[in-house]
Structure 1
Amino acid sequence: MRRKVYTRDYILKSAYELVEKEGFGNFTARNVAKKMGVSTQPIYLEFENMQDLKDTLIDEIFTELKQKVFAQEHTGNKLVDVCINYIDFSQKKPKLFISLFIDESGGGKKMYDVSYQYFKEVVKEDPTYKDLPADFIEALHDGTWITITGVASLMASGFITPNRQQIVEIIQHSIDGILEINKQK
Structure 2
Amino acid sequence: MARKKTILKSHILDTAYDVVKTEGFEGFTARNIAKTMNCSTQPIYLEFKNMDDLKNELYSRIKEYLTETVFKNTRSEEPILNTCLNFIHFAKDEPIFFRALFLEDHLGPERMHDLPYEAMLTAFEQEAKTKALNKTEKRKTFEKIWISVYGTAALAAQDLITLDETTLVDDVEKMIKETVK
TM-score, with length taken from structure 2? 0.88
Paired residues for 1:16-27 under 5 Å: 16-27=17-28
Contact 1:12/1:57, CA 8 A, preserved across alignment: yes
The letter for the 2-side match of 1:5 is T
Pairwise CA distance, 1:117:
2.5
Pairwise CA distance, 1:5:
1.1
Pairwise CA distance, 1:107:
5.4
Secondary structure of 1:132's aligned partner? coil
> What does residue 94 of structure 1 align with?
95
Q: Deviations over 1:67-121 (max 9, x none)?
A: 1221111221111101111111111110000001111135533211233233223
Measure, in 1, the Cα distance between the counterparts of 2:86 and 2:169.
11
Secondary structure of 2:180's aligned partner? helix
> What does residue 122 of structure 1 align with?
123
Unaligned runs of 5+ in 1: 181-185
Measure, in 2, the Cα distance between the counterparts of 1:45 and 1:127.
51
Unaligned runs of 5+ in 2: none
> What does residue 67 of structure 1 align with?
68
Paired residues for 1:97-176 under 5 Å: 97-106=98-107, 108-176=109-177
The letter for the 2-side match of 1:16 is Y
> What does residue 78 of structure 2 align with?
77
Matched residues, number: 180
Aligned-residue sequence identity (percent) comes to 34
Q: Deviations over 1:5-30 (max 9, x none)?
A: 11122111111121122211332222
Measure, in 2, the Cα distance between the counterparts of 1:87 and 1:57.
22
Pairwise CA distance, 1:126:
3.3
> What does residue 41 of structure 2 align with?
40
Higher relative contact order (CA 8 A, sep 6+): 2
**Aligned in 2, Cα 1:133/1:68: closer, same or farther, shift over 3 Å?**
same
Q: Deviations over 1:134-182 (max 9, x none)?
A: 12211222222221121122223333222222212222232233335xx
The letter for the 1-side match of 2:171 is I
Q: Considering only aligned residues, what root-mean-square deviation do their CA atoms show, in Å? A: 1.9
TM-score, with length taken from structure 1? 0.86
The letter for the 1-side match of 2:70 is V
